[in-house]
Amino acid sequence: GAVVSQHPSWVICKSGTSVKIECRSLDFQATTMFWYRQFPKQSLMLMATSNEGSKATYEQGVEKDKFLINHASLTLSTLTVTSAHPEDSSFYICSARDPQTAALYEQYFGPGTRLTVT
């Protein structure tokens, strides 16, 4: 089945630094990837939709200059949290669509990345 990986699985960084999270589709080419954020004991909230070769579409209230998304290839999307602050500490989850085998509704989720900003 379709597998999505994320790296790193967890990261601790100091306030003011930037951290990059990778999302890879391992056995399929993903034209569209999604980035979600989940605060403790809360639901998943979509941050942005990432399309290969074009600019990401951000959800209302998500700062595009703070959360940089790059989808330069069909198997890799990256989320960079710039100038991270403790309030950015969260669980970041990506998902991907496989246009070859799945209909528009299918998303395959990565295992998530836990970010802690000290």
Partner 1 sequence: AQKVTQAQTEISVVEKEDVTLDCVYETRDTTYYLFWYKQPPSGELVFLIRRNSFDEQNEISGRYSWNFQKSTSSFNFTITASQVVDSAVYFCALSELPGGYNKLIFGAGTRLAVHP
List the one residue from 5, 83, 111, 116 that touches partner 1 (CB under 8 A).
111
45 binds partner 1 (CB under 8 A): yes
CA of 9: how far to CAs of 55, 111, 115, in Å? 25, 8, 9
CA of 101: how far to CAs of 1, 5, 6, 22, 30, in Å? 10, 18, 21, 23, 11
94 binds partner 1 (CB under 8 A): no
29 binds partner 1 (CB under 8 A): no
Compute the least distance from the CB of residue 82 to partner 1, in Å: 24
Which residues pair with residue 66 across a beta bridge? none
Q: Which residues bind partner 1 (CB under 8 A)?
A: 32, 34, 41-46, 49, 57, 91, 93, 95, 97, 104-107, 109-112, 114
